Structure 1
Amino acid sequence: MKRKQRGLSLVGFLLVLAVVGFAAYIGIKLFPMYQEYYAVRSAMKGLATEAGVADMDPARIQDLFFRRLYINYSEHVKPQNVKFERTQGGWKMRVNYEVRRPLVGNLDVVGRFDTTQELTRRGGE
């Protein structure tokens, strides 16, 4: 007795295609937010290795930070999102910001990013 083999029907294929398409759409909306976050992290880590950063004043450190971000076309991090705290042997830099992007209709996707970096004489350990 032979059994008939059956494949994916057209309706099933369209359903799978819709789910994959929606997942790709969400990924396209989220990718720039995380790309910017990793640019922020990279700029902060680069500052931690900068010679003499522990002895600089916060305004100078912030200027160096935003110069690094300018290269990566970061547009959501503003000076009011950057805070400095004096620590033993340097600074603790904190960047806390939010990104809101439209998703579908009146729904938005919101990303909140908060990261810190030690800026010490030992190179940001």
Structure 2
Amino acid sequence: MRVRKQGGMSLIGFLIVLSMVVFFVYLGMRITPIYLEYYSVVSAMDGISKEPGSARYTPFELKDKFLNRLWVSYSNNNVKAENVKIVRNNGVQIRVQYEVRKPVIGNLDVVASFDRTAQLSN
């Protein structure tokens, strides 16, 4: 008769793997909303840039339209009016530059910096 040893993971090994999985899921839960908000910013910028005659709007009108689009999509937490710049170089461009800082554990933070520019249409 042959004696077979049972193979597999011990309880300690299972708990270590489980704690790592839980940590990465938690980290994903903290980071995912940051990128969802960024994709709303990209969508709002693309929507404004595709509007006919958007290059003829005043800077106040452009900022107002952009921030209203963010407000409608519930993504106006981190992007403020001072983060939106209107640049007039080779046409009119809208530039959004902002930073998001979220606490993860204790004194550890996740910092994400975003900078995007879109060309407006005439």
* Counterpart code for 2:35: Y
Distance 1:87 1:114 in 2: 17
**Per-residue displacement from partner, 1:72-92 (whole Å, max 9, x unpaired)?**
22210011101111133x311
After TM superposition, give the deviation of residue 2 of structure 1 in Å. 5.5
Q: Corresponding residue for 2:28?
A: 27
* Counterpart code for 1:82: V
Q: Corresponding residue for 2:80?
A: 78
| Structure 1 stretch displaced more, 18-27 or 50-59 | 50-59
Residues 14-93 of structure 1 mapped to structure 2, 5 A cutoff = 14-73=15-74, 74-88=76-90, 90-93=91-94
For the 8 Å contact 2:51–2:121, the answer to whether it is kept is no
* Counterpart code for 2:7: R
TM-score w.r.t. length of structure 2: 0.92
User: Secondary structure at 1:120's aligned position in 2?
Assistant: coil
Q: CA RMSD in A?
A: 1.3
Distance 1:108 1:87 in 2: 36
* Counterpart code for 2:100: V
**Per-residue displacement from partner, 1:52-105 (whole Å, max 9, x unpaired)?**
1011111111111011000122210011101111133x3111100011111101
Ranges in structure 2 where 5+ consecutive residues have no aligned partner: none
How many residue pairs align between the two structures? 120
Moved over 4 A (4+): none
For the 8 Å contact 2:52–2:121, the answer to whether it is kept is no
Identical-pair percentage: 48
After TM superposition, give the deviation of residue 107 of structure 1 in Å. 1.4
For the 8 Å contact 2:85–2:95, the answer to whether it is kept is yes
Distance 1:57 1:71 in 2: 21
TM-score w.r.t. length of structure 1: 0.90
Distance 1:111 1:72 in 2: 20
* Counterpart code for 2:81: P
User: Secondary structure at 2:98's aligned position in 1?
Assistant: strand
